[in-house]
């Protein structure tokens, strides 16, 4: 069993692409199958090596690997050979209409209440007609002749699908400039690279019907199909490669999203199953079932992803983040620091601020009414070494000495020691801050 993820390197992957890639990967790994990464890069004008490299980087960031790799730009001979076979079988024909002429035909058909299906006018051209058009500079594009009747298959997501081919235009396989198009290249690759299961967006359903006939015309058995509903934003708008804030690059570099948070979110989005923190991809493999995906369009919700991202961070061990903290320049971010602050992080980058609060100088936040209380608190600081019990003993002494309790006791201490009203447990932060720095802050000094 083999699946393929086949992006075009014409832009950065966004979350909709990542969802398709992840579902393909989980489907294959659950069944012990293989994953093919294929770059559909025949559009030379828009495909770039930068985007090709970015696709691989983004997939590796998610933890998704592949067993084989192919580029369509290196397989033109194979497409040419397939076209020759179709030509010999009488299944393709030359057409000469310009894009403008085809658009006029479509609008005329729609105005008459008819489906905008190509009328096969090119089949009526004589040899002299074609010669005259070519002499005038027209270059032909090639269409695949669809047989009439019904094409049906049992879709792994949508159930039984049946398309009446009279409602489908003969697809263009080769443009007038000689470039083979997706309908042809995809089928040739799926045949020759032994793809058994195709999982992609529901915008390909009608295209799949035409491709079923193309598989058969080339002597192959069509693969199994699964067509997933396309993900939208909360307003129901389609996500696009040009929507920068949902590109994987932006999620990683600008938004600080954890890869497993995104994986856990996308793997369950569109199913009735709860979206929750998962420790790794193996846990997602174990629970994966493509039959759980429904027909309704899943909606990408930033708030839900942010919640999951924070919960994912809260569950990470120090070993899982130690190298990343070091790479951020947080030289004192040891396990005690991580255990103290992780429950208050939404992004790993938030750790930088708490590292500064613990180990660098800050301006304390002291209200005038609390100055005498905080000065007394400084006098009562116990000697080091400190541990998690220091906070309990110190505040108990303060309560007895000053009569303060509750918020009047704890809030001024937190604001003076951290410069913030909220944050990690002070019993964990206090040993990290240290006695001298705590003393200066309680006295209103920068420390």
- pLDDT at position 374 over 60: yes
Q: What is the rounded CA–CA span in Å between residue 306 and residue 265? A: 10
Each residue of 63-111: pLDDT tens digit? 999 999 999 999 999 999 999 999 999 999 999 999 999 999 999 999 9
Task: Evaluate whether residue 273 is within a structural domain.
Answer: yes
pLDDT of residue 321: 97
**Do 198 and 303 fall into the same domain?**
yes
pLDDT of residue 243: 54
pTM: 0.91
* Alpha carbon distances (Å) from 421 to 193, 390, 443: 60, 21, 18
CA Rg, the chain, in Å?
A: 31
Longest dimension (CA), the chain: 108
pLDDT of residue 148: 95
Mapping DSSP to helix (H, G, I), strand (E, B) and coil, where does residue 347 land? coil
**Do 242 and 387 fall into the same domain?**
no
Each residue of 94-107: pLDDT tens digit? 999 999 999 999 99
Domain that holds residue 340: 318-359
Q: CATH number, domain at 39?
A: 3.40.50.620
**Do 167 and 194 fall into the same domain?**
no
Q: What is the rounded CA–CA span in Å between residue 311 and residue 327? A: 22
What does the mean pLDDT of the chain come to?
95
> What sign does the CA torsion over 301, 302, 303, 308 have?
positive
Closest CA to 441 of 421, 419, 417, 422: 417
Task: Evaluate whether residue 206 is within a structural domain.
Answer: yes
Per-residue pLDDT, averaged over 232-258, amounts to: 83
**Do 22 and 118 fall into the same domain?**
no
How many structural domains does the chain have? 4
* Alpha carbon distances (Å) from 219 to 90, 222, 234, 301: 14, 9, 44, 44
pLDDT of residue 266: 98
| pLDDT-derived band at 45, boundaries 50, 70, 90 | confident
- Give φ, ψ of 34 to 5 degrees: -110, 155
**Do 278 and 332 fall into the same domain?**
no
| pLDDT-derived band at 44, boundaries 50, 70, 90 | confident
* Alpha carbon distances (Å) from 324 to 319, 321, 329: 10, 5, 9
- pLDDT at position 3 over 90: yes
The proportion of the chain whose per-residue pLDDT surpasses 70, expressed as a percent, equals: 99
Please work out, in degrees rounded to the nearest 5, the angle formed at the alpha carbon of residue 189 by the alpha carbons of 180 and 40: 60
Q: Measured in whole angstroms, how far is the alpha carbon of residue 365 from the centre of its chain?
A: 41
Task: Evaluate whether residue 447 is within a structural domain.
Answer: no
Q: What is the rounded CA–CA span in Å between residue 303 and residue 307? A: 6
**Do 289 and 332 fall into the same domain?**
no
pLDDT of residue 447: 86
pLDDT of residue 7: 97
Q: What is the rounded CA–CA span in Å between residue 344 and residue 351? A: 9
pLDDT of residue 235: 87
**Do 106 and 245 fall into the same domain?**
no
Per-residue pLDDT, averaged over 358-364, amounts to: 96
Each residue of 414-438: pLDDT tens digit? 999 999 999 999 999 999 999 999 9
pLDDT of residue 244: 54
**Do 189 and 310 fall into the same domain?**
yes
pLDDT of residue 237: 85
**Do 68 and 188 fall into the same domain?**
yes
């Amino acid at each position: 069993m083999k699946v393929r993820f086949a992006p075009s390197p014409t832009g950065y992957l966004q979350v909709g692409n990542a969802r398709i890639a992840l579902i393909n990967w989980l489907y294959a790994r659950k069944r012990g199958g293989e994953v093919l990464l294929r770059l559909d890069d025949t559009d030379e004008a828009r495909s770039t090596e930068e985007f090709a490299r970015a696709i691989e980087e983004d997939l590796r960031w998610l933890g998704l690997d592949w067993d084989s790799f192919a580029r369509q730009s290196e397989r033109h001979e194979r497409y040419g050979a397939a076209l020759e076979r179709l030509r010999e079988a009488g299944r393709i024909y030359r057409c000469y209409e310009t894009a403008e002429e085809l658009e006029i035909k479509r609008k005329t058909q729609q105005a008459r209440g008819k489906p905008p299906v190509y009328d096969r006018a090119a089949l009526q051209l004589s040899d002299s007609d074609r010669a005259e058009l070519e002499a005038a500079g027209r270059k032909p594009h090639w269409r695949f002749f669809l047989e009439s009747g019904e094409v049906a298959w049992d879709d792994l997501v949508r159930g039984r699908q049946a398309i009446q081919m009279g409602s489908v235009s003969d697809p263009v396989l080769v443009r007038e400039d000689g470039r083979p198009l997706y309908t042809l290249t995809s089928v040739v690759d799926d045949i020759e690279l032994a793809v058994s299961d195709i999982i992609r967006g529901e915008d390909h359903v009608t295209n799949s019907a035409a491709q079923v006939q193309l598989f058969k015309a080339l002597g192959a058995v069509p693969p199994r199909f699964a067509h997933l509903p396309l993900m939208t934003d909360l307003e129901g708008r389609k996500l696009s490669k040009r929507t920068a804030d949902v590109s994987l690059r932006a999620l990683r570099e600008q938004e600080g999203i954890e890869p497993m948070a995104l994986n856990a979110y996308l793997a369950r989005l569109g199913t009735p199953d709860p979206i929750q923190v998962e420790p790794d991809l193996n846990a997602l493999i174990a629970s994966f079932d493509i039959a759980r995906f429904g027909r309704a369009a899943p909606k990408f919700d930033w708030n839900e992803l942010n919640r999951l991202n924070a919960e994912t961070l809260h569950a990470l061990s120090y070993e899982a983040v130690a190298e990343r903290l070091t790479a951020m320049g947080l030289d004192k971010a040891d396990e005690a620091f991580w255990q103290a602050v992780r429950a208050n992080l939404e992004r790993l980058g938030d750790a930088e601020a708490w590292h500064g609060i613990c180990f660098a100088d800050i301006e304390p936040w002291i209200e005038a009414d609390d100055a005498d209380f905080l000065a007394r608190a400084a006098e009562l600081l116990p000697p080091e070494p400190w541990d998690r019990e220091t906070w309990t003993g110190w505040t108990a002494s303060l309560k007895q000495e000053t009569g303060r309790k509750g918020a009047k006791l704890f809030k001024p201490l937190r604001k003076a020691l951290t410069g913030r009203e909220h944050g990690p447990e002070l019993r964990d932060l206090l040993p990290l801050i240290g006695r001298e720095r705590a003393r200066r802050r309680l006295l209103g000094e920068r420390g």
